[in-house]
Amino acid sequence: MQKADLDFFFRNMSIEIREKTEEKIVFDINGIEPPLANALRRIMIAEIPSIAIEKVNMWQNTSIIPDENLAHRMGLVPIMVDPETLEYRKEGEELNEKNCIKFKLHVRCTKKDPNAPMVLNDTANEEKLYNHANVYASDLVWEPLGSQAKKFAKNKPRALYGDILLAKLRPGQELEMELFCEKGLGRTHAKWSPVCTAYYRLVPDISFTEDILNQEVSLFHF
The mean-pLDDT minimum among 36-45, 111-120, 162-171, 192-201 falls in: 111-120
Model pLDDT, residue 57: 96
Ranges 5-19, 46-60, 74-88, 138-152: which has the least confidence: 5-19
Angle subtended at Cα 193 by Cα 47 and Cα 141, rounded to the nearest 5 degrees: 130
Q: Is 127 within 8 Å of 134 (Cβ atoms)?
A: yes
Question: Looking at residue 127, what is its pLDDT?
Answer: 83
* Structure confidence at residue 210 as a pLDDT band (50, 70, 90): low
Q: Tell me what the mean pLDDT of segment 104-113 comes to.
A: 93
* pLDDT (tens digit per residue) in 140-192: 999 999 999 999 999 999 999 999 999 999 999 999 999 999 999 999 999 99
CA distance 89 to 95: 8
- The answer to whether 132 and 169 have CB atoms below 8 angstroms apart is yes
List of residues 6+ apart from 108 with CB closer than 8 A: 132, 169, 173, 174, 175
Q: Which amino acid is at 148?
A: Q
Q: In what order do the strands lie in the sheet with 101-108?
A: 50-61, 174-184, 101-108, 141-143
Domains of the chain: 1-48 (no CATH), 50-193 (2.170.120.12)
d(CA 124, CA 130): 12
Contact 142, 102 (CB under 8 A): yes
Tell me, what's the pLDDT at 11? 80
Confidence of residue 1 (pLDDT cuts 50, 70, 90): low
SS (H, E, C) 139-177: HCEEECCCCHHHHCCCCCCEECCCCCEEEECCCCCEEEE
